[in-house]
Amino acid sequence: MPTEPNRRMPLEGLTIAVVGAGRIGSELIRNLGLMGIGRIDVFEREPHLADPLRSRYTVYEGDFWDTLSLGRLEAYDCAIAAVDNLEARLRLNQMCQIAGVDLVNAG
């Protein structure tokens, strides 16, 4: 379906949780920001990876299963897993299924 050249997708109203800010996560966060996503919250357990993101995004430190409750997860339109740990991916998948939030696995 063709779109009008000056018409923007309604991305400003989206709220996305990104779990992991390593190589894939940091690039993904940057690209989401450039796309005009309304709110991007970052969950990262390594402080040195999260520090450069603090000026533009809300960053939560620690393991996401300690900082991201089901109630908070339900407020997101989408969650993105950018972690290299299988257990973390499986846990986030379970949490998203329970909360009814779409999950995208990156990497």
Q: Note the pLDDT tens digit of each residue in 83-104.
A: 999 999 999 999 999 999 999 9
CA distance 41 to 76: 9
Model confidence, pTM:
0.86
CA distance 57 to 37: 11
- 14-54 confidence digits (pLDDT tens): 999 999 999 999 999 999 999 999 999 999 999 898 888 98
C-alpha 5, offset from chain centre = 28
C-alpha 104, offset from chain centre = 9
How many C-beta atoms surround the C-beta of residue 1 within 10 A? 2
